[in-house]
Structure 1
Amino acid sequence: MSDTYLELVNSGPAAAVAKKLGLPRPAPLRRTDADAVDQPLTPGPVLVLSDSASTGEADAVAADLLSWDLDVRRDTRLGDHDRWGAVVVVLTGLTHPAQLSEPALTLGSVLRKLAPSGRVVTLSRTAPPALAAPSGDDVDPAPAAARHGVDGFLRSVAKELRAGATGNGLVLADGVEVSSVSVRGGLRFLLSARSAFVDGQLLTVGTDAGTEPADWRRPLTGAVAVVTGAARGIGAEVVRVLARDGAQVLGVDVPAAGEALSAVMNAVGGTALQLDVTADDAADRILDVARSRFGHLDLVVHNAGILRDKLLANMTPEKFEALLAVNIAAPLRMNETFAAPGTLGGQAVAPRIVSLASTSGIAGNRGQTNYAAAKAGIIGMTRALAGPMSRTGGTANAVAPGFIETDMTATVPAVARQIARRTSSLQQGGLPVDVAEAIAFLASPQAGGINGQTLRVCGQMVVGQ
Structure 2
Amino acid sequence: GRTALVTGAARGIGAAVASVLARDGARVIALDVPGAREELERTADRIGATALPLDITAPDAADRIATAAPDGLGVLVHNAGITRDRRLANMPGDRWASVIEVNLDSVLRTTDALLKAGTIPRGGRIVATASIAGIAGNTGQTNYAASKAGIIGLVRSLGPRAAADHGVTVNAVAPGFIETKMTAAVPLFIREAGRRMNSLSQGGLPVDVAEAVAWFAQPDSTAVNGQVLRVCGQSLLGA
Q: TM-score, normalised by structure 2?
A: 0.97
Q: How far did 1:393 drift?
A: 2.0
In structure 2, the CA distance between the partners of 1:316 and 1:305, relative to structure 1 (3 Å rule), is same
- Partners of 1:260 and 1:252 lie apart in 2 by 11
Tell me the SS of whatever aligns to 1:279: coil
Equivalent of 2:89, from 305, 308, 313? Answer: 313
Equivalent of 1:422, from 176, 180, 196? Answer: 196
- Partners of 2:121 and 2:198 lie apart in 1 by 37
Question: Do structure 1's residue 285 and structure 2's residue 64 form an aligned pair?
Answer: yes
Alignment of 1:203-218 (within 5 A): none
Question: Do structure 1's residue 458 and structure 2's residue 236 form an aligned pair?
Answer: no
Equivalent of 1:444, from 218, 235, 239? Answer: 218
- Partners of 2:188 and 2:144 lie apart in 1 by 21
Q: Deviations over 1:64-98 (max 9, x none)?
A: xxxxxxxxxxxxxxxxxxxxxxxxxxxxxxxxxxx
Alignment of 1:176-325 (within 5 A): 222-291=1-70, 295-325=71-101
- Partners of 2:9 and 2:89 lie apart in 1 by 33
Unaligned runs of 5+ in 2: none
- Partners of 1:226 and 1:432 lie apart in 2 by 17
Unaligned runs of 5+ in 1: 1-221
Tell me the SS of whatever aligns to 2:128: strand
- Partners of 1:282 and 1:262 lie apart in 2 by 19
Post-superposition, which runs of at least 4 consecutive aligned residues in structure 1 deviate over 4 A?
none
Q: How far did 1:341 drift?
A: 6.9
Q: Deviations over 1:286-316 (max 9, x none)?
A: 011111xxx2211110001110000011100
Question: Do structure 1's residue 381 and structure 2's residue 154 form an aligned pair?
Answer: yes
Tell me the SS of whatever aligns to 1:399: strand
- Partners of 1:422 and 1:325 lie apart in 2 by 31
| Residue type at the aligned position of 1:340 | K
Give the aligned partner of residue 20 of structure 1.
none
Question: Do structure 1's residue 366 and structure 2's residue 139 form an aligned pair?
Answer: yes
Question: Do structure 1's residue 343 and structure 2's residue 122 form an aligned pair?
Answer: no
| Residue type at the aligned position of 1:433 | V
- Partners of 2:7 and 2:76 lie apart in 1 by 8
Tell me the SS of whatever aligns to 1:234: helix
- Partners of 1:255 and 1:420 lie apart in 2 by 31
- Partners of 1:358 and 1:234 lie apart in 2 by 12
- Partners of 2:99 and 2:208 lie apart in 1 by 25
Percent of counterpart pairs with the same letter?
55
- Partners of 2:94 and 2:225 lie apart in 1 by 34
Question: How many residues of Structure 1 are paired with residues of Structure 2 in the alignment?
Answer: 238
Q: How far did 1:344 drift?
A: 1.1
Pairwise CA RMSD? 1.1
Do the aligned partners of 1:299 and 1:345 also contact (CA within 8 Å) in 2?
Answer: no
Question: Do structure 1's residue 435 and structure 2's residue 209 form an aligned pair?
Answer: yes
Question: Do structure 1's residue 332 and structure 2's residue 113 form an aligned pair?
Answer: no
Structure number with bigger Rg = 1
Q: Deviations over 1:38-58 (max 9, x none)?
A: xxxxxxxxxxxxxxxxxxxxx
Tell me the SS of whatever aligns to 2:181: coil
Do the aligned partners of 1:339 and 1:388 also contact (CA within 8 Å) in 2?
Answer: no
Q: Deviations over 1:99-122 (max 9, x none)?
A: xxxxxxxxxxxxxxxxxxxxxxxx
- Partners of 2:114 and 2:152 lie apart in 1 by 17
- Partners of 2:57 and 2:117 lie apart in 1 by 23
Question: Do structure 1's residue 354 and structure 2's residue 115 form an aligned pair?
Answer: no
Q: TM-score, normalised by structure 1?
A: 0.50
| Residue type at the aligned position of 1:443 | A
Q: How far did 1:345 drift?
A: 2.8
Equivalent of 2:187, from 413, 429, 443? Answer: 413
